[in-house]
């Protein structure tokens, strides 16, 4: 589905209104070469319509951009004038995918709020953020911030425990009106991480669980044994074999660390998005209601030292999750009232 450019401007204007872009604020749009030209112009027109000052930082792709083509950080590296320009903005719309680079952290420290927008219009529109989603995701964030121990299980044999407290809890609900805060449109989950050596147990991904970056659904279970925050064994059929090979290809011991942990709360996101041929980077698989988003690799976004480039996001269905003594998910069903979507 493609939107007419006037419709795109209106859609982006609604998003910028959620981000509380006001008259005389400065909005910077970060884009790469000739990519997403339509998005860049539509955001600029939308921001100008709201009375903001607006400019576009357009860069060539960085050398050594990752396999997935997320070259934002590499493109900015060492480009001081561009970084300073972006730091001066109240809101940076990131169409390049800075990920959690030091350049992005520097902008956040300077007070810029950052909105990542890389999904196609169909998904931006269908999963347009709401204040209700924000409230439920923030309820999850508060619970994670106060938790000491997270444990989750499933019928395939998962039983794993995370000791919490070292890192902050974080939220993603699809817009940002808070200085220095990053978000991704669209989204809908909360997460935190354990200290580097404080995850122990077994994670058994079941059939139908998803592997990113492959965006594939498991045909057979994969069993990870985790000791002191590291995967020490990966067992299973072909899917496990492929994953072992993929992780080994990085030749990096840090690839086996455990990354963020949390759960999805977006009731409009579809678990079967890839089976339905939905384009995009897979936010639906990561955010669908009642998933556990298990992940491996880097923890720099939480403030940790693991900066491996090997990052897996592994959404799992039908899990039961406890935060201390509170039952959060029962077989994939969200239990606490403050996080439940209407009608669920």
Nearer to Fe ion, 284 or 313 (CB): 313
CB nearer to Fe ion: pick between 100 and 289: 100
What is the smallest separation between the CB atom of 213 and Fe ion, expressed in angstroms? 10
The span from the CA of 167 to the CA of 227, in Å, is 19
According to DSSP H, which parts of the chain are helical? 5-18, 37-49, 72-76, 80-87, 102-109, 121-126, 131-146, 238-248, 283-287
* Interatomic CA distance for residues 297 and 231, integer angstroms: 10
Q: What is the DSSP code (8-state) at residue 312?
A: E
Closest approach, Cβ 269 to Fe ion, in A, equals 15
Distance CA 107, CA 83 (A): 8
CA distance 328 to 308: 30
Taking the complex as a whole, the smallest distance from the CB of residue 285 to Fe ion amounts, in Å, to 11
Decide whether 46 or 170 has the Cβ nearer to Fe ion: 170
Name the residue whose CB lies closest to Fe ion. Answer: 313
Secondary structure, 3-state, 92-108: EEECCCCCCCHHHHHHH
CB of 252 to Fe ion, least distance (A): 17
Q: Shortest approach of Fe ion to residue 193 CB, angstroms?
A: 10
Complex with Fe ion: residue 239 or 313, whichever CB lies closer: 313
Q: How many CB atoms lie within 10 A of CB 128?
A: 17
Beta carbons of 261 and 221 less than 8 angstroms apart: no
Please state the closest distance from residue 210 (CB atom) to Fe ion, in A: 12
Return d(Cα 57, Cα 4) in angstroms, integer: 24
The values of phi and psi at residue 12, to 5°, are: -70, -35
How many other CB atoms are there within 10 angstroms of residue 316's CB atom?
24
Closest contact distance (angstroms) between CB of 260 and Fe ion is 6
Token look-up 């239990």 returns: 335
| Cβ-based nearer residue to Fe ion, 291 or 295 | 295
Q: Is 158 in the site for Fe ion (CB under 5 A)?
A: no
- Residue 320 CB, nearest approach to Fe ion (Å): 22
Of 119 and 313, which CB lies nearer to Fe ion in the complex structure? 313
> What distance separates the 2 farthest-apart alpha carbons in the chain?
58
Site for Fe ion in 268-327 (CB under 5 A): 295, 313
% helix / strand / coil in the chain, to the nearest 5?
A: 30, 30, 45
User: Site size for Fe ion, by CB under 5 A?
Assistant: 2
- Taking the least distance from each CB to Fe ion, the nearer of 12 and 212 is 212
64 dihedral zone (left: phi>0; alpha: psi -120 to 50; beta): left
Question: Which CB sits closer to Fe ion, 8 or 150?
Answer: 150
Note the residues at the interface with Fe ion (CB under 5 A). 295, 313
């Amino acid at each position: 589905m493609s939107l007419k450019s006037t419709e795109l401007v209106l859609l982006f204007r609604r998003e910028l209104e959620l981000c509380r872009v006001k008259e005389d604020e400065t909005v910077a749009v970060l884009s790469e070469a000739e990519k997403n030209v339509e998005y860049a112009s539509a955001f600029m027109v939308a921001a100008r319509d709201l009375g903001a000052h607006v400019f576009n930082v357009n860069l060539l792709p960085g050398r050594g951009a990752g396999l997935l083509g997320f070259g934002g950080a590499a493109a900015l590296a060492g480009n001081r004038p561009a970084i300073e320009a972006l730091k001066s903005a109240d809101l940076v719309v990131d169409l390049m995918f800075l990920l959690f680079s030091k350049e992005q952290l520097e902008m956040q420290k300077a007070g810029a709020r950052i909105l990542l927008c890389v999904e196609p219009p169909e998904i931006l529109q269908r999963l347009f953020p709401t204040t209700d989603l924000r409230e439920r995701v923030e309820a999850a964030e508060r619970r994670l911030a106060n938790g000491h121990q997270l444990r989750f299980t499933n019928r395939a044999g998962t039983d794993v425990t995370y000791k919490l407290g070292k890192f902050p809890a974080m939220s993603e609900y699809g817009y940002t009106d808070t200085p220095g805060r990053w978000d991704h449109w669209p989204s809908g989950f909360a997460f935190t991480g354990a200290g580097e050596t404080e995850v122990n147990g077994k994670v058994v991904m079941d059939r139908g669980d998803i592997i990113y970056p492959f965006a594939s659904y498991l045909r057979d279970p994969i069993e990870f044994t985790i000791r002191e925050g590291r995967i020490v064994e990966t067992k299973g059929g072909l899917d496990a074999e492929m994953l072992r090979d993929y992780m080994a290809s990085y030749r990096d011991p840090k690839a086996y660390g455990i990354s963020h942990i949390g759960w999805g709360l977006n009731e409009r996101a579809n678990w079967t998005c890839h089976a339905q041929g939905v384009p995009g980077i897979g936010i639906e698989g990561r955010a669908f209601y009642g998933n556990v988003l298990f992940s491996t690799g880097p923890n720099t976004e939480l403030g940790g030292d693991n900066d491996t480039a090997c990052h897996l996001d592994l959404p799992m269905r039908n899990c039961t999750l406890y935060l201390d003594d509170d039952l959060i998910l029962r077989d994939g069903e969200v239990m606490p009232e403050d996080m439940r979507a209407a009608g669920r």
